[in-house]
Amino acid sequence: MKTPKAVLAAEAAVAAKSAELEDAESAVKRIRAELGAAHAALMDARIEADSALTQCRLVVIPWRGSDPPKSRPVVIVRRTPGGMLVTREIGDTQERRFKFNPHRCVYVQAAEYHCYSRETRELRDVPAEVMPKADR
């Protein structure tokens, strides 16, 4: 039995669309790989730019004494007119503000904490040129 022309045309259309879909999927896969490479290049550029800024450590002290403190490097972006330090993690864009605690002689995070989070965030190894003048 001979296949009708309409069926042959529909099969050809399906085959053409399948090939077009495969091409599109390979293009999407290639673009995603390029996007990943672009993100990696962006992170490398941010880290390189942050290497020129003043650095210190952000220490997160948990409210329970049994857990060890967590530490990670941060860069000091600027000092506000009120004396607070604005920092961010190396390679990141989110900024945090720290105010000087004269009783403990350290910078502590100025943000209000959630009632369930009692972790203390403070800066350590702050260079002397950034510390308040009375404590130099």
Q: Give CA angle at 64 (121, 99), nearest 5°.
A: 15
Dist. CA 121–CA 74, nearest whole Å = 12
Phi-psi group of 83: left, alpha or beta (phi > 0 → left; psi -120 to 50 → alpha; rest → beta): left
The band of 123, judged by pLDDT with boundaries at 50, 70 and 90, is: very high
Q: What is the pLDDT of residues 26-50, one digit of tens each?
A: 999 999 999 999 999 999 999 999 9
The band of 135, judged by pLDDT with boundaries at 50, 70 and 90, is: very low
Q: Write down the pTM of the prediction.
A: 0.70
Please name the amino acid found at residue 129: E
Share of the chain above pLDDT 70, in %: 93
